[in-house]
Amino acid sequence: MAKRERVVRMSVEQPLWRALTAYRVLTAGYAVLLAVFAREDFERPWIAVAVLAVLSVWTLATLPQVSGAARCTRPFLAVDLAVALTGILLTPLADVHAQTFDGPTLPSIWTAGAVLAFAIKGGWRWAAFASTLVAAANIVERGHPSRDTLHHVLLVWIASIAIGYVVEVARASERTLARALEIEAATRERERLARDIHDSVLQVLAMVQRRGAALGGEAAELGRMAGEQEVALRTLVAGGLARPSYASEDAALGAVVRVVDEPDRPPGEAEGDLRALLAPLAGARVTLADPGAPVPLPAPAAREVAAAVGAALDNVRRHAGADARAWILVEDWADEVVVTVRDDGPGIPEGRLVQAEGEGRMGVALSIRGRLRDLGGSAELVSVPGQGTEVELRVPRAAGARRGKAQP
């Protein structure tokens, strides 16, 4: 079974919590320095010392609580806001002239950190609640608030609500992204299973249907039942896996395929030689032309390319007939490997691919194009009625690194 790529995502909130942690420490130190420089202005310096001591100890002791949303609980937020409000309201007791000269409160700008914690934790509504209480405390502390006081209060109120709103938008975007990644991972897993089904079960059912019809008798009834199951399974695969980008492209179809896929190997697997995987596909009517030197590719990518070539050859045997000839050309370039499969069959009639897609046949879309798309490469099909068909597969050298990632 193919291994799913494990995607580790960091919450978009985490940088905000780290910034808040640094802000609280720096502003606590700033509040202490302000008090030290203005120590001669305090009528009751012991109150200022007590408030700032509690503030500093509280800030350092609660650093883990503001490191993430899980630890920043509602009780902590309530106590944290209470510390800020208490510091504001005790400012006039330590400095009687604070109300007259409109000086800073004891907590100073540390108070904004308590409001920001509400904003990051609960969004703009929590921010509005906390900033409103801080605004009321500042107005009460001033007694007769000046224009500057009202300006600062309004600025904190608007800024905290804006930050809370941005946090809510970021959370919604993160949930949408997580859901999109889950859908993409599920879609890719279904596509992989569909390729396996096409390369095995559907091919066998098609063979049983043809052989049963040829033998007649009880075998014909068995072939008819196999045909019904093939149609039902193709409908199921097409209904769950059709992709808009390739909805009108399919070809393929029923002979027993020589499956080249192997189970996924551990990450970091050494590169393999694509020639060694393509060599078994050559035969009396299939000519392989490859470089004289090895064609290295990451082993999972090499297996996928070989499987796509096998699917292309099965289409040749099914549509061009048992006497058709095919040629495989391998070109090893500096930045990519190009594999071309040509045949001398009658070509694909116009509109045949659209019809095949409507019948739920996903050979080209999944077994060929899907494999190359997952590797970051491409598969191009050119067919001229009466002049055969050519399938060109291009896979970049970095195919192994891009395996499993979404392609635009």
pLDDT for residue 4 = 39
pLDDT for residue 24 = 93
Report how far residue 128's alpha carbon sits from residue 329's, in angstroms, rounded to the nearest whole number.
69
Cα distances from 64 to residues 18, 123, 300, in angstroms, run 10, 20, 44
Give residue-wise pLDDT tens across range 95-137.
766 655 667 888 988 999 999 999 999 889 999 999 999 988 8
pLDDT bin (cut points 50, 70, 90) of residue 71 is confident
Q: Is 70 exceeded by the pLDDT of residue 42?
A: yes
pLDDT for residue 74 = 92
pLDDT bin (cut points 50, 70, 90) of residue 70 is confident
pLDDT for residue 324 = 85
pLDDT bin (cut points 50, 70, 90) of residue 404 is very low
pLDDT for residue 368 = 82
Q: For residue 366, which of 308, 310, 314, 287 has the smallest C-alpha distance?
A: 308
- Any idea which residue has 């060694």 for tokens? 276
Q: How far does Cα 156 stand from its chain's mean position?
A: 36
Report how far residue 48's alpha carbon sits from residue 39's, in angstroms, rounded to the nearest whole number.
9
Mean pLDDT of 67-87: 91
Half-sphere exposure of 138 toward its Cβ, with a 13 Å CA cutoff? 28
Contacts of 28 (CB under 8 A, 6+ apart): 55, 56, 59, 60, 110
Mean pLDDT of 4-28: 74
Higher pLDDT, 10 or 125: 125
Mean pLDDT of 396-402: 63
Give residue-wise pLDDT tens across range 208-233.
666 767 777 777 777 777 666 666 66
Give residue-wise pLDDT tens across range 234-285.
555 555 544 433 333 333 323 333 333 444 444 444 577 898 889 888 888 8
Q: Is 60 exceeded by the pLDDT of residue 62?
A: yes
Contacts of 351 (CB under 8 A, 6+ apart): none
> What pTM value is reported for the model?
0.48
pLDDT for residue 371 = 82
Q: Are the C-beta atoms of residues 373 and 310 closer than 8 Å to each other?
A: no
Contacts 24+ apart (CB under 8 A), 167-174: 167/13, 167/16, 167/119, 167/120, 167/123, 167/124, 168/123, 168/124, 170/12, 170/13, 171/12, 171/13, 173/12, 174/9, 174/11, 174/12
Report how far residue 371's alpha carbon sits from residue 363's, in angstroms, rounded to the nearest whole number.
11
Task: Tell me which amino acid residue 277 is.
Answer: L
Higher pLDDT, 355 or 139: 139
Q: Is 90 exceeded by the pLDDT of residue 353?
A: no
Higher pLDDT, 200 or 56: 56
Rg of the chain, C-alpha, whole Å: 35
pLDDT for residue 232 = 63
Mean pLDDT of 330-336: 89
Highest mean pLDDT among 36-40, 75-79, 212-216, 284-288: 75-79
pLDDT for residue 80 = 93
Mean pLDDT of 42-59: 90
